[in-house]
Amino acid sequence: MLNNFILRGNICYSKSAQHLDIIEQGYLICEAGVSRGVFKELPEKYKGLEIRDFKNNIIIPGLVDLHVHAPQFSFRSLGMDMELLEWLETNAFPEEAKFKNTSYAEEAYGLFVDDLVKGATTRASIFATIHPEATQVLAKQLEKAGIKSYVGKLNMDRNSPEILCEDSAMRSAADTRFWLEETLAAGYEHVKPILTPRFTPSCSDELMDYLSELQREYHVPLQSHLSENYSEIEWVRQLCPESKCYGDAYDRFGLFGSQEPVIMAHCVHSSEYETALMKERGVMIAHCPNSNTNVMSGIAPVRFYMDAGLSVGLGSDVAGGFTTSIFRAMSDTIRMSKMRWRLVDDSLKPLTIEEAFYLATRGGGAFFGKVGSFEEGYEFDAVVLDDDNIASTLKPCIKQRLERLIYLADDRNVRHKYAGGVQVL
C-alpha cells in the first residue's frame, strides 16, 4: 500500500523546457503515489499527512535514463579509443555472450542494479542480452529494487558473432514470446517488457516481421538504435537498399511508432526525411552525448530536434557511455550543444540548464506516461539532493545550487529517492 506523505524542501521541477519552477521551502504532496502539486503554504486538507522535512536540501523529479545496456556495465570506461563497430566486436559482444550463464548474470546485473539504486535515476529503458533466462534475472532484480523500468531481451539473428547470434528468426521470435509471457505472468509492479531488436544490421527481415506480429499481439513498445555512426548507416544502406533511410528500415515493418511507442537511441546523423518521419510517427529520441563522443559518432542536433517539436530525452548508454549518471548526461548535453554551435552549425544555439533538466525529467519521462514533473497528476518520482559536500565561499541561490549539482553531483549527493510514491533509497 502506498503511503500518503509530504516532502518539504527547496523544490525544483519543469513545466516546460524553457522554465524551471523553484519553490524555496515548499511542500510537495504525495497521495497514493501521485503528486498533488507543490505549494508554498500547506493547504488545510493536507495538514494531517506526515511531513518529511529535508530542510535546505533540494528536491527534484527522479531522473530518466532512456537508453542503457545493463550487461555492459562491468566494462564501462574501457575501449573508449574505438569507433562503434570495432568497439562492439571487441568489448560488447564478448561480454554479452557471458550472460548465457545465469550465475554470471546474477552477479553482473546485481552490480548494475545497485549502481542505479544509489544514483538519481528512477526510470530506465534497458537493453539486456539475447538470453531469456538472464533477462528475467535482470527484471527480478529491478523489481525488487523498485526501479521503474522497461527491460528488453535482445534480438540478433544475423551479422553477429557465433556466440551471440540466435539460431534463426523463428528461434529469436520464440524466445522473445517466452520472455514476454514470463514477464507479463510475473505480475511485476515496476518492470514492463519492451521489444528490443539490437539494430537493423543484426535483425533479418524475417525476424522484423515476427517482431511486428508480436507487437500487434502484445501491444508493447520498442527500443533500438538509429543513425548513430557513419559506418553503421552505410551498412544499413547496403543491407536495405529499398529503404529511403535507416528509420525506414524499421518503418517498413511497422516498428517505427505506427503501432506502439518507440525509443530510438542516438539519431546523430538523421537525414531531413528521417527526422520528418520520426516526428510523424511520434518516435522518442534518446540523446546519449557521453556515448556519442566516446565511440566517436558525432554531435546530435538536439536543438534542431527540440525546435522542430520532436520528443527527446536523455540516455546514459552504458557502456558506450562510461557512467549511468543522468547528471553527467545533462552536463554533456549542454557542452556538446556548444561544440555543435561553434564547430558545425551556428544557427543552433546551445542548450540551457533549463532545457537539459527538462530533457532529463519531463522530456524523457513522457515515454512512461505522466512522469518527470511535480505537476498535479504526475506519478510521484522524487530525488532529495544534499549538496553540503560541494565546498564554496559563495552563497548560491537554489538555481545555482542545482546547476552546480548537474556538473558535480555523484552518489554522495543522493540522500533519498522515491519512484511511484515508494521510497527506493
pLDDT tens track for 226-263 = 999 999 999 999 999 999 999 999 999 999 999 999 99
Percent of the chain residues topping a pLDDT of 70: 100
Strand partners, 414: 385
**DSSP 3-state helix, strand, coil percentages of the chain (rounded to 5)?**
45, 25, 35
Q: What is the pLDDT of residue 2?
A: 60
Q: What is the reported pLDDT for 85?
A: 87
CB-CB neighbours of 68 under 10 Å:
28
Closest CA to 40 of 60, 26, 59: 26
For range 43-57, the mean pLDDT: 97
What per-residue confidence (pLDDT) applies to 230? 95
Q: What percent of the chain has pLDDT over 90?
A: 98
Residue 94: band (very low, low, confident or very high) from pLDDT cuts 50, 70, 90: very high
pLDDT digits (tens, 9 = 90+) for 354-413: 999 999 999 999 999 999 999 999 999 999 999 999 999 999 999 999 999 999 999 999
Angle between helices 132-145 and 169-186 (to 10 degrees): 30
Residue 392 has what pLDDT? Answer: 93
What pLDDT was estimated at residue 84?
87
Binned at pLDDT 50, 70 and 90, residue 264 comes out as very high
Residue 175's pLDDT band (cuts 50, 70, 90)? very high
* 348-358 average pLDDT score: 98
Q: Return the pLDDT at 273.
A: 98
pTM surpassing 0.85?
yes
Distance of CA 87 to the CA centre of its chain: 21
Instruction: List, in order of start, the domains of the chain with CATH numbers.
Output: 5-61+373-423 (2.30.40.10), 63-368 (3.20.20.140)
Average pLDDT over residues 46-63: 98
Strands (E), 32-190: 34-39, 50-61, 63-69, 121-127, 148-152, 154-155
Mean pLDDT across the chain: 97
